[in-house]
Structure 1
Amino acid sequence: MTDLDQAGTYQLGNRIVRRMGYGAMQLAGPGVFGPPKDRAAAIDVLRAAIEAGVNHIDTSDFYGPHVTNQIIREALHPYEPKLTLVTKLGARRGPDGAWLPANSPSDLTQAVHDNLRNLGLDYIEVANMRLWGDDGRAPAEGTVEPYFTVLADLQRQGLIRHLGISNATAKQVEEARTFVPIVCVQNHYNLVHRDDDALVDTLYRQGIAYVPFFPLGGFSPLQSERLNKVASELGATPMQVALAWLLARSPNILLIPGTSSVTHLTQNLGAANLRLPPEAMAALNSF
């Protein structure tokens, strides 16, 4: 048993993963573009995460692009059997680092093959379709049929085992489920950005994992002050408290905090051991 088991586990596709995972986004260069300043340090972080018991890593071939997947392969291949790698499709990087949509049938097919090649895999365990939404930011309604028609075919070919969706509305999640089983939803959610409260609860009833990104962000100065106060009282960092709140929020929430620092990684993983007393939960819930 690792310390991470104290946060519990949850089903992701046909895998059981620890609820505290790792997001590889910060392994690329500034702006998630180009190589990192210190490739050896990036490799050290990945290996430290695995050594600590992490068995769920979130990545994408458009991080870099290609950079994070290549570093993951260099650091961890051949992969431990229990390690679940999750990637995202639906975007690409421009020559200047711009984030651009890449969701045509040829784009999605190429992205799958790029992920397989750079990660050194025969199939992708879980691939999330990252919807473009409101100019690449907040979710916006629109049909997902063109994307999941293509992805369902790639799944039938054996190139993808399970599918998820990212930056999606509740309506889009339901539409996607008419084409394929959806095993996870990856959306913006944290203490103060709680538009998905109802969706989190719905997905829990359906046995679907919810994976929040930007777990700490968008806080007003007053909210930050209150979070710092709770953290100080518990002898923890604000990030640890924010992550612990997410773990306490619902059993289907899986966390993927990212970092390029082993020290910061250790701090993040420490949130798995942090138990929030009722008075702390009440203070945080009032945000």
Structure 2
Amino acid sequence: MTRKAGMTPLTLELAGHRVHRLGLGAMRLPTEPTDARATSITLLRKAVDLGVTLVDTAHLYGWGANEELVAEALYPYPDGLLVATKLGVERRPAAADGAVYNGSEAFLRSQVDDALRRLRVERIDLMQLHRVDPAVPLADQVGVLRDLRAEGKIGHIGLSEVSATQLAEARATVEIASVQNRYNILDREYDPVVDACEAAGIAFLPWRPVVAGGADATAVIAALARELDVTATQLALAWLLRRSPVIVPIPGTASTAHLAENLAAARLELTDDQYELLNRAARADR
């Protein structure tokens, strides 16, 4: 794979850090049993060695166990590493999914304190609202995070799974540094949010960034991947990097081989024709 100088920028300012535009989502990393945990720790350290500067975790991932895993692997955190986490989901076994959204002030404050302890830091540089609680006004939820920022416990504030309207509403209360929505070449529901983020200079962190779609579109993607001698996953990540300069994919993996494969996608520069071919395939799929 080759790339041309001066093309797609591969770093972005986010939450006071200059981050590489391919991060790592830690959700898939097992924390138990002991041998699996050791493998997860090795992968996290390898990711940093390979140049990853953004690791994304959340309280929801193992109800705090994933945050503790990240800290065990990477603390003391190397200079330039941004560890982002998320809050706003409460474990409630009696609920249908075993969890509920909770945007109350008391709960959000307790989750920030718990995350500070688990991640072993005095300030969380990027704290993201994992889901908007429909029972609490959005302005109140981000208002709590704004207050926690003023208290020095949070550096920057992000959102997850929001519409363009909700993003605008939140921005009326506090500065928003990032949005993390489900998004990939064949899952384009949040195109308007990507465009809104780009216009405002807000980082967009797509989760589930790898292709999942119809057979016709994936056939086109597979054919181009073979032509370029890359994987379909690498092609999907390269498309995201080309889609907007504010996009920072956070693919997750528990395999060091897949980790290296994902990061290699940064070296793939799509031509205009290749980019439009993929767009046409995606539009036909939809």
TM-score scaled by structure 1? Answer: 0.89
Q: How do residues 69-88 of structure 1 correspond to structure 2 at under 5 angstroms?
A: 69-88=67-86
Change (3 A) 1:99 1:283: farther
Instruction: Between 272-281 and 74-83, report the one with greater CA deviation.
Output: 272-281
1:224-235 mapped onto 2 (5 Å cutoff): 224-235=218-229
TM-aligned CA distance change 1:104 to 1:143, over 3 Å: closer
Q: Does 1:198 align with 2:192?
A: yes
Report what 2:255 is aligned to: 261
Q: Cα offset for 1:174?
A: 0.9
Once residues 36 and 260 of structure 1 are traced to their aligned partners in structure 2, the CA distance between those partners, rounded to angstroms, is 15
Aligned to 1:13: 15
Aligned equivalents of 2:145 and 2:230: distance in 1? 42
Structure 1 residue 7: Cα displacement: 5.2
Deviation at 1:37, TM superposition (A): 6.3
User: What RMSD, in angstroms, separates the aligned Cα atoms of the two structures?
Assistant: 2.3
Identity across the alignment (%): 37
Matching residue of 1:116: 116
Q: 1:45 aligns with which of 31, 43, 46?
A: 43
Count, aligned residues: 274
Q: Distance in 1 between matches of 2:128 and 2:271?
A: 34
Of the three residues 126, 146, 152, the one matched with 1:152 is 146
Q: Match for residue 105 of structure 2?
A: 105
Asked whether the 8 Å contact 2:198–2:246 carries over to 1, the reply is yes
Q: Measured at CA, do residues 142 and 106 of structure 1 come closer, stay the same or move farther in structure 2, by a change above 3 Å?
A: closer
Check if 1:127 corresponds to 2:127. Answer: yes
In structure 2, stretches of 5+ residues that fail to align are none
Quick check: 1:214 aligned with 2:208?
yes
Whether the aligned pair in 1 keeps the contact of 2:187 and 2:212 (CA below 8 Å) is yes
CA contact (8 A) 2:103 2:136 kept: no
| Separation in structure 2 between the aligned mates of residue 110 and residue 274 of structure 1, nearest angstrom | 43
CA, structure 1 residues 94+7, in 2 after alignment: closer, same or farther (shift >3 Å)? farther
1:203 CA displacement: 1.6
Q: TM-score, normalised by structure 2?
A: 0.89
CA distance in 2, matches of 1:71, 1:162: 22
Residues 83-109 of structure 1, C-alpha deviation per residue, up to 9 Å, x if partnerless? 011111111334487342132212111
Q: Which stretch of the first structure deviates more once superposed, 167-176 or 219-228?
A: 219-228
Query: CA-to-partner distance for each residue in 1:102-121, whole Å, 9 max, x for gaps?
Result: 32212111111111111111
For 2:102 and 2:136, how far apart are their aligned partners in 1? 16
Which amino acid in the other structure matches residue 88 of structure 2?
G
Aligned counterparts, 1:85-96, within 5 A: 85-95=83-93
Structure 1 residue 13: deviation in Å? 2.3
